[in-house]
């Protein structure tokens, strides 16, 4: 293993001083990163295209490993797959030690252990992402006598405040997702199925240079959100809750459409949701307590006759859905509300969502993405928040 002769400690593609502080607070000496999203973050945006969707190969799996020693970025190393040698030739890696020779998870962890020994980590506490480290590799680390700590929280806090480049990616992801939804509403017609809607929005997102993640569609009064062969009928309301990612950053939003014209009740229901969404944004600013986002929405829902079937949630967004800030400990995804009583910071990104699961009218929802600023917040992809009239393209029924 040899260091790159051109290696320069500055600038690194992340805040090394913050990472050192977080590692110190967690009692971690050496970081061993193995998740694709955190590898991407620490390598400044690099994600190996060959294993972007699937990790399995032959009898094992792709396991990229980045090693960072607290206070000593010059001892950093990256161990990648043999196929990444072409990327190495293109200068994609800043790490002083870079080896692209592995085919299995055991190959990768063997190189990592050898490097840790070389940089003097025999008595170090090793921080790993326990949720993203395969058992065979974790066992090798343990059998080597190292003390193991979970570094998931450290890495989440490192990504908490987004850079200007990350905010561009999140804005683009959000705007392209809602544009894809509008195109899908314009196209859909009675006689199509929910599977047809998902096929259409997938094409629209891919055509906008997004990687399609998923779509939860509903139609009519049915509250089932899975794609299916349910047939759309004239008068049906349609919700599209979809995510596409742009350079790894997730745009996750929901918009409403209708095959026809909304009646007064439907206008009122979506109006109530819009009102809650707007009220949730008002307290958002740098320095505000994270839990303030919930205060007025919870009060409105408590007084609403629709309370038994209403939901409100706010959560962090970025490379991962439901990443920090962690704004509540009572949401559907289980984690503690670490940031509920802590101040928001400019550059944090939050998803806000309100849903009515009406037993007679169906599923009505808005989900929106906002970035915290010094004086307030700014919405990403704020178009098409009302009832989008479907079938404006005049498509023939299937």
Per-residue model confidence as pLDDT tens digits over 11-52: 899 999 999 999 999 999 999 999 999 999 999 999 999 999
The DSSP H or E segment spanning 206 is helix 194-207
Is residue 398 domain-resident? Answer: no
Place of tokens 């990403």: 380
What separation in angstroms does the CA of 207 have from each of 180, 181, 189, 250?
9, 13, 21, 16
Same domain, 223 and 330: yes
The DSSP H or E segment spanning 252 is strand 249-258
pLDDT digits (tens, 9 = 90+) for 354-381: 999 999 999 999 999 999 999 999 999 9
| Arithmetic mean of pLDDT, 110-122 | 94
Is residue 11 domain-resident? Answer: no
Same domain, 95 and 194: no
pLDDT digits (tens, 9 = 90+) for 266-324: 999 999 999 999 999 999 999 999 999 999 999 999 999 999 999 999 999 999 999 99
The DSSP H or E segment spanning 241 is strand 237-246
- Does pLDDT of 232 surpass 60? yes
The closest alpha carbon to 14, from 89, 49, 91, 66, belongs to 66
The closest alpha carbon to 223, from 390, 365, 71, belongs to 365
CATH code of residue 136: 3.40.350.10
Place of tokens 């790159």: 4
Same domain, 49 and 169: no
| Arithmetic mean of pLDDT, 161-185 | 98
Q: What is the DSSP letter of 51?
A: G
Same domain, 113 and 225: no
CATH code of residue 295: 3.90.230.10
pLDDT digits (tens, 9 = 90+) for 239-270: 999 999 999 999 999 999 999 999 999 999 99
- Which pTM value belongs to this model? 0.94
pLDDT the model gives residue 395: 53
Contact of 227 with 215, CB cutoff 8 Å: yes
- Of the residues 102, 136, 158, which one is the last residue of a structural domain? 158
Same domain, 383 and 279: yes
Is residue 198 domain-resident? Answer: yes
Same domain, 141 and 263: no
| Arithmetic mean of pLDDT, 169-179 | 98
Same domain, 44 and 138: yes
Return the structure tokens found at 293. 């986002």
Same domain, 93 and 189: no
- Supply the range of the domain harboring residue 278: 164-389
Same domain, 209 and 310: yes
Same domain, 195 and 115: no
Same domain, 152 and 168: no
Judged by DSSP in three states, 312 sits in strand
- Of the residues 158, 173, 191, which one is the last residue of a structural domain? 158
Average pLDDT across the chain, whole number: 95
Is residue 1 domain-resident? Answer: no
- Percent of the chain clearing pLDDT 70 (strictly above): 96
Q: Quote the radius of gyration of the chain (alpha carbons, Å).
A: 23
- Percent of the chain clearing pLDDT 90 (strictly above): 94
What band does 3 get if pLDDT is binned at 50, 70 and 90? Answer: very low
Is residue 10 domain-resident? Answer: no
Is residue 80 domain-resident? Answer: yes
- Does pLDDT of 95 surpass 50? yes
- Of the residues 108, 123, 158, which one is the last residue of a structural domain? 158
What separation in angstroms does the CA of 80 have from each of 31, 52, 83, 85, 202?
16, 13, 8, 8, 31
Is residue 242 domain-resident? Answer: yes
pLDDT the model gives residue 84: 98
- Does pLDDT of 2 surpass 80? no
Same domain, 75 and 173: no
Could you give the number of structural domains in the chain?
2
Is residue 65 domain-resident? Answer: yes
């Amino acid at each position: 293993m040899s260091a790159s002769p051109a290696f320069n400690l500055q600038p690194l593609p992340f805040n090394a001083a913050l990472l050192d502080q977080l590692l110190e607070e967690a009692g971690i000496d050496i970081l061993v990163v193995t998740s694709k999203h955190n590898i991407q973050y620490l390598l400044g945006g690099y994600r190996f295209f060959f294993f972007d969707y699937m990790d399995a190969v032959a009898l094992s799996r792709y396991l990229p490993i980045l090693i960072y020693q607290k206070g000593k970025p010059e001892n950093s190393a990256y161990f990648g797959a043999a196929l990444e040698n072409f990327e190495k030739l293109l200068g994609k890696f800043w790490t002083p030690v870079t080896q692209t020779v592995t085919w299995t998870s055991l190959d990768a962890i063997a190189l990592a252990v050898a490097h840790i020994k070389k940089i003097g980590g025999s008595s170090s506490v090793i921080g790993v992402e326990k949720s993203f480290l395969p058992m065979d590799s974790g066992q090798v680390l343990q059998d080597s006598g190292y003390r193991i700590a979970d570094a998931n929280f450290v890495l989440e806090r490192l990504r908490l405040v987004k850079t200007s480049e990350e905010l561009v990616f999140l804005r683009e992801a959000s705007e392209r997702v809602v544009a894809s939804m509008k195109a899908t509403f314009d196209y859909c017609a009675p006689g199509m199925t929910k599977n047809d809607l998902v096929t259409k929005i997938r094409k629209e997102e891919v055509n906008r240079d997004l990687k399609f993640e998923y779509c939860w569609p509903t139609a009519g009064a049915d509250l089932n959100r899975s794609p299916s062969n349910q047939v759309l009928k004239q008068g049906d309301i349609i919700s599209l809750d979809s995510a596409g990612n742009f350079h790894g950053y997730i745009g996750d939003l929901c918009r409403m459409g209708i095959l026809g014209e909304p009646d007064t009740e439907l206008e009122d229901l979506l109006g109530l949701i819009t009102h809650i969404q707007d009220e949730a944004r008002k307290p958002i600013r740098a320095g505000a307590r994270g839990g303030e986002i919930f205060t007025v929405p919870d009060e409105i829902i408590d007084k609403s006759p629709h309370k038994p079937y209403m939901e409100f949630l706010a959560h962090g967004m970025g490379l991962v859905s439901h990443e920090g800030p962690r704004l509540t400990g009572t949401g559907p995804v289980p984690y503690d509300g670490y940031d509920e009583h802590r101040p928001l910071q400019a550059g944090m990104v939050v998803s806000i969502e309100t849903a009515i699961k009406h037993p007679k009218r169906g599923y009505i929802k808005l989900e929106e993405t906002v970035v915290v600023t010094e004086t307030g917040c700014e919405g990403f992809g704020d178009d098409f928040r009302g009832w989008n009239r479907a079938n404006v393209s005049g498509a023939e029924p299937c």
